[in-house]
Amino acid sequence: MTWSATAPLLQVSVTIFAILLAGLELGYRIPLARKRQESEGFQSPDYLLSAVLGLLALLLGFTFSLALDRYEGRRDLVMSEANAIGTSLLRADLLQEPVRSGMVEALGAYVDARIKWSQLETLTDSYAETASLQRRIWSLTGQALRSDPEPQITRGLMDSLNESFDLAASRAEARKTHLPQRLLGLLLLYVVLSAVMLGYVLGEGGQRHRGPATVLLVLLTIAITLILDVDRPLSGGITVSQQPMVDLGHNIPAVATGGGAPGR
């Protein structure tokens, strides 16, 4: 894990803004032979700044799109896993006692564990409880397969359990996957160089416009912070909703008491 995923987001934002301010000041102070007062035909290279900022907007949009795609992928995995576990509950409700009660109870504990796992802010040993419950559920499935007079029901249960376990592994991998660090580093470098270019052009024009320039740097900092926030599945402020899992957990008692299938 690197600074973009571990450092406090506010600290990262303040650091980026300070670096951009330093770049702007550097642009103001570039020691070039400025003879604009002596040359009536001098024209500030505004077109270069427009091109630089236009390309910057393109890079920011491209990077945000990548981060948003990863966020959407994590959200889809939550829904898919909730559906797979819900299907497993439907099929477990058709098993013979006492395997039925044990399976429903184990799946209920599994849903609680998955919700708890999604709220953890660290990856250390966070998958251990999930793996333990998966082994317990699989053992109960084996008992059902050996004792069930209609093994096709148990085989259907095995398929949905396999899918839910695979989705759990996919979610664990998605939590560890971030935007490439080289991409973020090059984006930050480009933003800093854009700030230097902004300071240079404003300085050459004779008016520094510190207020509007500072506002522009604030907006750029907010844009980069938003990208980093979306890219943080663990500690970011923009997190994937676990409501499908929570709703599933609320409906499990109806199955456990023989009240019918959970609401889907």
Task: For residue 141, name the pLDDT band (cuts at 50, 70, 90).
Answer: confident
Amino acid at 48: L
Q: How far apart, in whole angstroms, are the C-alpha atoms of residue 224 and residue 7?
A: 14
pLDDT digits (tens, 9 = 90+) for 27-36: 888 755 454 4
Q: Which two tokens stand for residue 229?
A: 């926030």
Task: For residue 44, name the pLDDT band (cuts at 50, 70, 90).
Answer: low
pLDDT digits (tens, 9 = 90+) for 86-116: 999 988 888 888 888 898 999 999 999 998 8
pLDDT digits (tens, 9 = 90+) for 67-77: 999 999 999 99
Residue 38 domain-assigned (yes or no) = no
Helices (H) and strands (E) in the chain, counts: 9, 0
Average pLDDT over residues 22-26: 90
- What is the predicted pLDDT for the residue at 40? 47
Residue 264 domain-assigned (yes or no) = no
Q: Is the pTM of this model over 0.75?
A: yes
Q: How far apart, in whole angstroms, are the C-alpha atoms of residue 126 and residue 95?
A: 31
Residue 131 domain-assigned (yes or no) = yes
Q: How many domains is the chain built from? A: 1
Task: For residue 81, name the pLDDT band (cuts at 50, 70, 90).
Answer: very high
Residue 133 domain-assigned (yes or no) = yes
Residue 112 domain-assigned (yes or no) = yes
Alpha-carbon distance values, 258 to 89, 90, 154, 164 (Å) = 12, 11, 18, 23
State which residues form the domain around 135. 3-31+44-256
Residue 39 domain-assigned (yes or no) = no
Residue 261 domain-assigned (yes or no) = no
Residue 36 domain-assigned (yes or no) = no
